[in-house]
C-alpha cells in the first residue's frame, strides 16, 4: 500500500445515500491495516466548526416565524466552518502524511448551494481561492441512491435536521448535480450505487481505494 504520502478522500451524496456509514467503514478498514488515518466531516471537524454546524443544521428560528437565513448567509456559514476545518484538521494532517477521510467537502457546497439554491458559483470559487490554497481531494466517492430509498432511510432517523426535510425534487436536483460534477473528472471520482443495503458496497469502495493507492 501507498506509504509516506498523504491522501485526501471525500465522500459525497444526498441525505440517505449512506455516505457517512460508508466513510466510517472505509476508515475502519484502513485502520485495521495500521495505516495513519483520520475520519472527519463537514460542516464540522473542529470544536468551532461543530458550533457553526449546529447553527446551520438546526431549525434555528421558530417554526411559526417566516424569518430564515438568506442563501448567501447560509453559504458563508458553511465556508466559515470549512476554513476552520481546513486550517486546523486537513492541512496539519496532510503535513503529517496521513490518510484523511472526509464526509462531505466542496462538492456538497456546489451541489446544494450553487446548483440547488442558486448561489453564484463565482462567489463560492472566490472564497475557496483564499481558504483552500492547494488543498483538494485526491479521490471522491459519490454514493448515488434511488430517491424513494433515500427518503425511506431519512424517515427512520431519530434525530433529523432541516436538510432531512427537503422535497424529493430538491434531492433529485442535487443528486443530478453531484453526478454532473463527477462526470467531469472520471479519474478522480468513483460513482457507487448504494440503493441496496448490502455489504457489497463497502467491499467495492475498499477495492477501489486499494486499486487507486497501488
* pLDDT band at residue 150 under the 50/70/90 scheme: very high
Domain count, the chain: 1
- Give the lowest-confidence range in 44-53, 135-144, 153-162: 153-162
Going by the DSSP 8-state scheme, the letter that residue 162 receives in this structure is: G
The reply to whether 93 falls in a domain is yes
In degrees, to the nearest 5, what angle opens at C-alpha 46 toward C-alphas 43 and 103?
Answer: 40
Q: Which residue has the higher pLDDT, 125 or 166?
A: 125
**In a domain? residue 164:** yes
Asked whether residue 187 is domain-assigned, the answer is: yes
Virtual CA dihedral for 94, 19, 61, 112, nearest 10 degrees? 80
Quote the domain boundaries for residue 173. Answer: 7-213
1 domain-assigned: no
3-state SS class at 142: strand
- What percent of the chain clears pLDDT 90, i.e. is strictly above it? 77
- Give the residue carrying C-alpha cell 461543530: 50
Instruction: Read off φ and ψ for residue 199, nearest 5 degrees.
Output: -70, -10
Average pLDDT over residues 116-144: 96
The CA distance from 112 to 166, in Å, is: 11
33 located within any domain:
yes
Indicate whether 2 belongs to any domain. Answer: no
Helices (H), the chain: 19-32, 47-57, 71-85, 91-95, 106-108, 121-132, 147-155, 168-183, 200-213
108 inside domain? yes
Which cell numbers in the block locate residue 32? 485495521
Question: CATH no. for residue 166?
Answer: 3.40.50.300
Please report the pLDDT score of residue 1 as a whole number.
53
Region 27-41 average pLDDT = 95
Q: What is the pLDDT averaged over residues 165-169? A: 85
67, part of any domain = yes
Largest CA distance in the chain: 55
Taking the CA atoms of the chain, what radius of gyration do you get in angstroms? 17
* Alpha carbons 53 and 40: distance in angstroms, whole number: 13
| Residue showing cell 463565482 | 122
Distance between first and last Cα of the chain? 6
Amino acid at each position: 500500500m501507498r506509504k509516506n504520502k498523504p491522501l485526501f478522500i471525500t465522500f459525497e451524496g444526498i441525505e440517505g445515500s449512506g455516505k457517512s456509514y460508508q466513510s466510517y467503514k472505509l476508515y475502519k478498514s484502513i485502520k485495521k491495516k495500521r495505516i495513519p488515518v483520520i475520519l472527519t466531516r463537514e460542516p464540522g471537524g473542529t470544536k468551532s466548526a461543530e458550533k457553526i454546524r449546529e447553527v446551520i443544521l438546526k431549525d434555528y428560528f421558530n417554526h411559526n416565524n417566516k424569518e430564515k437565513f438568506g442563501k448567501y448567509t447560509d453559504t458563508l456559514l458553511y465556508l466559515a466552518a470549512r476554513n476552520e476545518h481546513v486550517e486546523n484538521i486537513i492541512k496539519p494532517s496532510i503535513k503529517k502524511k496521513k490518510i484523511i477521510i472526509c464526509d462531505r467537502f466542496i462538492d456538497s457546497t456546489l451541489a446544494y448551494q450553487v446548483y440547488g439554491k442558486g448561489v453564484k458559483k463565482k462567489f463560492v470559487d472566490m472564497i475557496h481561492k483564499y481558504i483552500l490554497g492547494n488543498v483538494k481531494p485526491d479521490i471522491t466517492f459519490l454514493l448515488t441512491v434511488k430517491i424513494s430509498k433515500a427518503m425511506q432511510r431519512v424517515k427512520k432517523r431519530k434525530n433529523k435536521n432541516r436538510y432531512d426535510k427537503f422535497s424529493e425534487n430538491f434531492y433529485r436536483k442535487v443528486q443530478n448535480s453531484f453526478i454532473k460534477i463527477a462526470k467531469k473528472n472520471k479519474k478522480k471520482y468513483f460513482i457507487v450505487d448504494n440503493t441496496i443495503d448490502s455489504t457489497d458496497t463497502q467491499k467495492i469502495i475498499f477495492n477501489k481505494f486499494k486499486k487507486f493507492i497501488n
